């Protein structure tokens, strides 16, 4: 059991508001970890801290990619975090809407390729090869995520479920060891959610990507996760396997409000 992400004592304040309050969390290699909690509990803020969009006020975030040394990543710029192998999706879909589906995924390859201006202008053999590799790689990812039939569509014209998938496709194009999914099932219908379940499992099993996700669809969370963290008011209020969580009265209270069974 290798821990690949360690978060210690993470605290984030906005003005007078404390969004994250001394939060601890670990992600284990090869696992699907879920973060749940009511609206406004600080889950997305947590993601933003990990991915470098916010710089936390206190605490440490340590990433240890499989086979590599452990390193502190808080304070890094978002693009460096991605380059280190942590990719993410966004809660309110942020695709490049006027680019095609394939191009969206190709952008994900940016940090794993290197040709520059001169290369592009001269278009030498290595540039052509790199470009071809990018296209093939991206197309394969589209196939894997099940949206390869939409390859030349503009991202903005995709149905909602496909847009969510494209976000995932784009993120895994950066070859992450850890993928952060921010409410991947939001707005999906039951069939799409089922397919998403399969996709996420496949990413873990076949591509060896560990997953940390924020999700509200409890059915999905319970069936997918190996480990669940429950967050409320920026604090961790519970953690454990799905089984533990279901039977934890604190969790039920946080979610449904008090005394649901009364």
Partner 1 sequence: MIKFQEIKKSFLVSLWFMFLTFPIMVIRVNPIEKIVEWRWKNMIIVGIGSFLLSFVWRYMLKKREAGEKRAETWESGKTSFMQRILEERRFYIPLVTGLTIIAVAFPFIFSMYQTSIMTTALMYIVLGLGLNIVVGLAGLLDLGYVAFYAVGAYSYALLNHHFGLGFWSALPIGAVLGFIFGILLGFPVLRLRGDYLAIVTLGFGEIIRLVLKNWNEFSFGPSGIANIDRPGFFGIQFSLQAATIYLYFLMIGLVIFTIIVVNRLQNSRIGRAWIALREDETACQAMGIDKTRTKLRAFALGATWAGMVGVIFAAKTTFINPASFTFLESAMILSIVVLGGMGSISGVIIGALILILLPEYLRAFSDYRVLIFGAIMVIMMVFRPQGIISNIRRTYKFNE
Partner 2 sequence: MEYFLELVLGGLTRGSIYALIALGYTMVYGIIELINFAHGEIYMIGAFTALIFTSVLTLLGFNEIAVIVLASLLAVIYSSAYGYTVEKIVYKPLRHAPRLSPLISAIGMSIFLQNYVLLAQTSDFLPFPNLIPEFEFIKPYRYIISSPEIVILITTSTVMILLTFLIKFTRIGKAMRATAQDMNMAMLVGVNVNRVISITFVIGSALAALGGVLIASHVGQINFYIGFIAGIKAFTAAVLGGIGSIPGAVLGALILGLTESFATGYVSSDYEDVFAFGLLVLILIFRPAGILGRVTTKKV
Partner 3 sequence: MLRLRNINSFYGNIQVLKNVNIEISKGEIITLIGANGAGKTTTLMTISGLVPPRSGEITFMGKTIHNMSPDRIVSLGISQVPEGRRIFPYLTVLENLDMGAFLRSDKKNIKKDMEYIFDLFPILDQRRNQSGGTLSGGEQQMLAISRAIMARPTLLLLDEPSLGLAPLILRQLFETIKKITIENRITVFLVEQNANLALKAAHRGYVMENGCITLSDSAENLLSNENVRKAYLGL
Residues that bind partner 2 (CB under 8 A): 14, 44, 48, 53-54, 90
| Region of 122-130, 142-150, 204-212, 248-256 interacting with partner 3 (CB under 8 A) | 248-256
- Which partner from the list partner 2, partner 1, partner 3, none does 111 bind, CB cut-off 5 to 8 Å by kind? partner 1
HSE (side-chain half, CA atoms, 13 Å) at 128: 4
- Which partner from the list partner 1, partner 3, partner 2, none does 108 bind, CB cut-off 5 to 8 Å by kind? partner 1
Q: Cα(98)–Cα(96) distance, rounded to whole angstroms?
A: 6
Radius of gyration of the chain (CA): 19
Which of 1, 15, 152, 206 binds partner 3 (CB under 8 A)? It is: 15
Give the contact letters, 36-55, x = binds to partner 3 (CB under 8 A), - = no: --xxx---------------
- Which partner from the list partner 1, partner 3, partner 2, none does 116 bind, CB cut-off 5 to 8 Å by kind? partner 1
- Work out whether 94 is an interface residue with partner 3 (CB under 8 A): no
Give the contact letters, 126-145, x = binds to partner 1 (CB under 8 A), - = no: -x--xx--xx---x------
> For the sheet containing 235-240, what is the strand order?
86-88, 178-182, 210-214, 32-36, 227-232, 235-240
């Amino acid at each position: 059991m290798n821990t690949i992400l360690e978060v210690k004592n993470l605290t984030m304040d906005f003005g007078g508001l404390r969004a994250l309050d001394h939060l601890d969390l670990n992600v284990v290699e090869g696992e699907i970890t879920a973060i749940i909690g009511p609206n406004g509990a600080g889950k997305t803020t947590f993601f933003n801290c990990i991915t470098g969009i916010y710089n936390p006020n206190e605490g440490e975030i340590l990433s240890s990619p499989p086979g590599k040394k452990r390193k502190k990543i808080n304070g890094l710029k978002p693009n460096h975090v991605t380059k280190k192998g942590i990719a993410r999706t966004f809660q309110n879909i942020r695709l490049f809407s006027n680019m095609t589906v394939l191009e969206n995924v190709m952008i994900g390859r940016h940090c794993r390729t290197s040709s520059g201006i001169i290369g592009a202008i001269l278009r030498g053999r290595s540039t052509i090869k790199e470009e071809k590799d990018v296209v093939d790689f991206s197309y394969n990812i589209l196939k894997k995520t099940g949206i390869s039939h939409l390859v030349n569509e503009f991202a903005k014209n995709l149905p909602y479920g496909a847009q969510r998938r494209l976000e995932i496709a784009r993120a895994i194009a950066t070859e992450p060891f850890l993928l952060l999914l921010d409410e991947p099932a939001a707005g999906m219908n039951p069939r799409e959610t089922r397919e998403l379940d399969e996709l996420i499992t496949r990413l873990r099993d076949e591509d060896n990507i560990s997953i940390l996700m924020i999700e509200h669809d409890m059915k999905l969370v319970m069936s997918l996760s190996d480990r669940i963290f429950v967050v409320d008011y920026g604090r961790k209020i519970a953690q454990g396997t799905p089984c533990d969580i279901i039977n934890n009265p604190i969790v039920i209270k946080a979610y449904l409000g008090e005394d649901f069974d009364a």
